[in-house]
Homo-oligomer: A and B are copies of this chain.
Amino acid sequence: MADAYAPTDRTRLRRQPARGSYDRDVVHGILDEALVAHVAVATEHGPLIIPTTFARVDDVVYLHGSTANRVFRAAAAGGDVCLAVTLLGGLVLARSAFHLSMNYRAVVVYGRAVKVRSAAEKRRAVDAIVERVRPGRAAEARPPTDAELRKTIVLRLRLQEVSAKVRTGGPLDDEADLDWPVWAGVVPLSLVAGKPVPDGPSLPTS
Give residues in A with beta carbon < 8 Å to B: 9-10, 14-15, 18-19, 35-36, 38, 40-42, 45-51, 53, 66, 68-70, 79-84, 86, 88, 90-91, 93-98, 100, 102, 104, 106, 108, 110, 126-127, 129-130, 133-134, 137-138, 140-145, 148, 152, 166-173, 177, 180, 182-200, 203-206
Contacts and interface: CB of A to CB of B under 8 A. Distances in A.
B82 A48 contact: yes
Nearest to A204: B169
Contact of A38 (B38, B143, B204): B38
B110 A205 contact: no
Given A104-B51, A143-B97, A187 B193 contact: yes
18 contacts: A10-B45, A14-B70, A15-B66, A36-B102, A36-B104, A38-B86, A40-B47, A42-B46, A47-B81, A53-B102, A90-B194, A96-B148, A97-B143, A100-B130, A169-B205, A169-B206, A170-B199, A190-B194
Contacts of A206: 18-19, 166-169
State how many copies of this chain the complex holds. Answer: 2
A34 to B, nearest CB: 10
B80 A47 contact: yes
A130 B84 contact: no
Chain A: interface secondary structure? mixed
Residue among A46, A126, A188 with max Cβ neighbours from chain B (10 Å): A46
